[in-house]
Amino acid sequence: MTFLRNRAGLLVVWAIGIALVAFLLGEIIPQLLGNMNANQNQVGKINGEKIEYLTFNQEVEAGISNMRQQMGGASNDQLSTYVVENVWNQHVSNALLAEEVDRIGLSVGSSELNDLVSGQNPSPQIVQSFTNPQTGEFDRNQLSVFLTNIRNEPANSVQKQQWENFLQVIKDDRLQQKYNQLIQNSVYVTSLEAKEEHSQRNKIANFSYVLLDYSSIPDKDVNITDADYKTYYDAHKKEFYNPSETRSIRYVVFDAQPTAADSAAVKAKAEELARGFETAENDSLYAAINSETKYPVTYYTQGNLSPALDSALFNASVGSVVGPLLSSGTYEMAKVLESKVGPDSVTASHILLNPALEGGIDQATVKADSIKNLLQNGASFADLASQFGTDASREDGGKLGTFGRGAMIPEFENAVFDGKTGEVLVVPTQYGVHVIRIDNQSGSSRVIKAAIIDRTIQSSKETLNAAYTEASEFFGKVNEENFNELATDAGYTVLNGTEIAPMQTFIQDLENPRELIRWAYKAETGDITDKVYELPNKYVVAQLSEIREEGYLPLNTVKNDIKPQVINKIKAKTLTEQLNGALTGASSIEEVGQKLSKPAVKAENIVFANPIIPGVAQESTVVGTVFGLQPNTLSKSIEGSRGVYAVSVHDFVNPQQPQNLDAIKRQSINMLKQRAPGSVFQVLLENADITDNRARFY
């Protein structure tokens, strides 16, 4: 009790202090954790502007969806990475451009924007979005209908917001054009510069040289010290700037490619399908169910399929099945449904009716029949197309030009290729109801209507399981210390993926390795993969071997990379001493060569703009020295990329003065203008504060 009474004040102070600290931490820790979680959800930062994952990923998903529609197939890792890169680059470009545009006061006014949408020269984005897929031409009527509809949309509708976003893209593109034009208009070339450019490309030097090659000293005879490395590193430090972080891995691949047994099994299945194909009641359905590629059941002209299938198909009778035939790892078979002779190309005109504007497909068809009757009674097709057509062809009397098979959608194509010249047809398609006139049919060739089935040779479960078991056994034994030794003892080849960028899509011998690269950017040097990674027909176990941070790489990181250059630097000292000894007292390059038992070699017709010594190497320093010498004068020793040189100029052949200096200036200015926007953007990029976290998410 006495102790407590004596220490009570101190205890109270401690208790109050602990309570205050707990109170403060209770306020600070959740805030810190909230900030950390927020940072974890950021794809990156550009000059302080945060890019949230949710927003970024929505843009990526939209981009992938657009690519799928354009390419007609499902996305894969490479396609996804391509879209991610495009979206990221767009964010970077927009952020850097916005700062520059704001700084110099560029803008796009409302009248200018209206002109970019519906003026005489609309934006390329507008032209692309409102191009008729059948004619390939910009459809102003389609644009007009769309603009009318979008004006009637509520301000908060999804369609309205999408249109506003689209307009912002058009504005950004126009601002980019204006900015680039400002940059390009600032470029100029003086007459003196044009004359120098002409001289560098046309003035000829003829000289002789003596070369003491670095290879004349064996590498094993060179003693390298740490000071040698340090000297070279300090002199070339700018070369070791790493603009972005990279990582390197060592890895072992466990192959699960299809075996001979797998190939035989796929062949047997293909032969079974071929037998079923012969008796199938619904050929199209049978092919759709059993084919991997889902070829359309349509007419094929000779030369449009794989060589083996093409040859067999056009030599088969109607109703017969050809194949299975092996082509590039895939067994193919086809059933001949029809064979006939048809035109190679068709010239046609059409009037396209939009069911949405006519009150439905039935009303559009009735109107199309009426137009057909008018045409058959002698009415002008061009006049009716101009009056009733809803696509760009109306401006040209409905003319579609001449096209071959495969240019139009199946319903349209079948109608015009199966019809007769002069015939008028009413054909409904996914684009509306067409009134078509067949103006001409040219050529004649045999076409085959066929249903096609293909089966790719793939690894069986047994093959995959065997490779995975082998990879799992290695994974269970390997650790940070024994990766190379264990792999070598087991007879595996250790491969190296060096300087892998965060969003790289390839590594030697690996297809679609994005998941493995994402792991590498979460790991520490020496770490083994957290699992056996599965790639197409392969399993991989890897170790992170090196991290190269952004910025100037330290000497110990680049030491092995610069070793050959350091060795040559040491050799150059020895060779320079030898060459200087030969130059002392020598009056000609031939005499220098005699002292060194080296021939003086002639180099003729060398120009400054192309500093290559024939049969040796590109030697910019040597050729630059040549153009600074007086004829018949010996140079000092010159340290080149291949060895140490001494040179002597025989003569220079000066070019004639250019007759049209303005043409040279224009050519130089055009080249500078092409490079200027990219060069300026690179400077903005280098000066920007950019944090790229994409490897966490993609």
Residues 335-349: tens digit of each pLDDT: 999 898 888 899 999
Average pLDDT, integer, range 269-292: 93
Could you tell me the pLDDT band of residue 32, with boundaries at 50, 70 and 90? very low
The pLDDT of residue 539: 96
CB-facing half-sphere around the CA of 432: CA atoms within 13 A: 25
Say if 249-257+460-549 and 345-442 have the same CATH topology: yes
pLDDT tens digit string along 584-634? 999 999 999 999 999 999 999 999 999 999 999 999 999 999 999 999 999
User: Which tokens hold the place of 514?
Assistant: 């994005």
The pLDDT of residue 40: 74
CA separation, residue 180 to residues 90, 93, 101, 433, 463 (Å): 16, 13, 11, 45, 57
The pLDDT of residue 658: 83
Q: Of 200, 198, 203, 204, which is closest to residue 660 (Cα–Cα)?
A: 198
pLDDT tens digit string along 629-655? 999 999 999 999 999 999 999 999 999
The pLDDT of residue 29: 45
- pLDDT at residue 57 above 70? yes
- Buried b / exposed e over 7-16, threshold 16 CB at 10 Å, is eeeeeeeeee
Domain assignments of the chain as residue spans, ordered by start: 2-37, 204-242+556-653, 249-257+460-549, 260-342, 345-442
- pLDDT at residue 2 above 60? no
| 3-state secondary structure at position 653 | strand
| 3-state secondary structure at position 419 | coil
Average pLDDT, integer, range 243-265: 94
Question: What span, in angstroms and rounded, lies between the C-alpha atoms of 212 and 571?
Answer: 10
Average pLDDT, integer, range 476-501: 94
The pLDDT of residue 9: 52
497 CB-contact burial (10 Å; exposed 0-12 / middle 13-18 / buried 19+)? buried
Could you tell me the pLDDT band of residue 67, with boundaries at 50, 70 and 90? confident
Contact status, residue 367 vs residue 353, Cβ threshold 8 Å:
yes
- Identify the top-confidence range among 7-21, 29-43, 123-137, 358-372: 358-372
- Counting residues of the chain whose pLDDT is more than 90, the rounded percentage is 62
User: Which tokens hold the place of 57?
Assistant: 């990923």
What residue type is assigned to position 104 of the chain? I
Number of H helices, E strands in the chain: 23, 23
Q: Of 511, 354, 341, which is closest to residue 434 (Cα–Cα)?
A: 354
pLDDT tens digit string along 200-250? 999 999 999 999 999 999 999 999 999 999 999 999 999 999 988 999 999
Give the bridge partners for 264, in sequence order: none
Give the DSSP letter string of 28-82.
HHHHHHHHHHHHHTEEEEETTEEEEHHHHHHHHHHHHHHHHHHHTS---HHHHHH
What does pLDDT average to over the chain?
89
Could you tell me the pLDDT band of residue 684, with boundaries at 50, 70 and 90? very high
Q: Are strands 399-404 and 345-353 parallel, antiparallel or unpaired?
A: antiparallel
The pLDDT of residue 3: 39
Find the range with the poorest average confidence among 117-121, 136-140, 401-405, 520-524: 136-140
Number of C-beta neighbours around residue 276 at 10 A: 13
> Which DSSP state fits 537?
T
> Which DSSP state fits 588?
S
pLDDT tens digit string along 81-96? 888 999 999 899 989 9
The pLDDT of residue 257: 93
pLDDT tens digit string along 131-175? 876 677 888 888 888 888 888 888 888 888 889 989 998 998 999
Average pLDDT, integer, range 548-567: 93
Q: Which residue has the tokens 């450019």?
A: 197
Contact status, residue 533 vs residue 515, Cβ threshold 8 Å:
yes
Q: Torsion over CA of 431, 435, 438 and 444, rounded to 10 degrees?
A: 40
Contact status, residue 536 vs residue 473, Cβ threshold 8 Å:
no
CA separation, residue 294 to residues 238, 265, 324, 619 (Å): 55, 21, 16, 57
- pLDDT at residue 35 above 50? no
Prediction pTM value: 0.65
pLDDT tens digit string along 379-410? 999 989 988 888 878 888 899 989 888 778 88
- pLDDT at residue 534 above 90? yes
User: Which tokens hold the place of 593?
Assistant: 């060569």
The pLDDT of residue 70: 63
Contact status, residue 244 vs residue 44, Cβ threshold 8 Å:
no
Could you tell me the pLDDT band of residue 69, with boundaries at 50, 70 and 90? low
- Top CATH class of 345-442 equals alpha beta
687 CB-contact burial (10 Å; exposed 0-12 / middle 13-18 / buried 19+)? exposed
Could you tell me the pLDDT band of residue 296, with boundaries at 50, 70 and 90? confident
Please, which residues have CB within 8 angstroms of residue 69's CB and are 6 or more apart in sequence? Answer: none
Sheet holding 690-692, edge to edge: 49-52, 42-46, 690-692
> Which DSSP state fits 494?
P
Could you tell me the pLDDT band of residue 76, with boundaries at 50, 70 and 90? low
Please, which residues have CB within 8 angstroms of residue 204's CB and are 6 or more apart in sequence? Answer: 605, 606, 607, 652, 653, 655
SS (H, E, C) 94-161: HHHHHHHHHHHCCCCCHHHHHHHHHCCCCCHHHHHHCECCCCCCECHHHHHHHHHHHHCCCCCCHHHH
User: Which tokens hold the place of 316?
Assistant: 């088969």
Whether residue 631 is preceded by a cis peptide bond, meaning omega within 30 degrees of 0, is no
- Helices 555-583 + 589-596 axis angle, to 10: 110
Contact status, residue 547 vs residue 247, Cβ threshold 8 Å:
yes
27 CB-contact burial (10 Å; exposed 0-12 / middle 13-18 / buried 19+)? exposed
Average pLDDT, integer, range 109-131: 90
pLDDT tens digit string along 4-19? 344 445 544 455 555 5
What would you report as the CA-atom Rg of the chain, rounded to the nearest whole angstrom? 37
Number of C-beta neighbours around residue 395 at 10 A: 17
Could you tell me the pLDDT band of residue 36, with boundaries at 50, 70 and 90? very low
Distance of CA 428 to the CA centre of its chain: 39
User: Which tokens hold the place of 579?
Assistant: 């060459």
- Binning the chain into helix, strand and coil, the percentages to the nearest 5 are 50, 20, 25
Name the E strands within 469-531: 495-500
Pick the CATH number of 249-257+460-549 from 3.30.60, 3.10.50, 2.60.40, 3.40.50: 3.10.50
38 CB-contact burial (10 Å; exposed 0-12 / middle 13-18 / buried 19+)? exposed
The pLDDT of residue 408: 86
User: Which tokens hold the place of 575?
Assistant: 């060779």
Could you tell me the pLDDT band of residue 511, with boundaries at 50, 70 and 90? confident
150 CB-contact burial (10 Å; exposed 0-12 / middle 13-18 / buried 19+)? middle
The pLDDT of residue 41: 87
The pLDDT of residue 16: 56
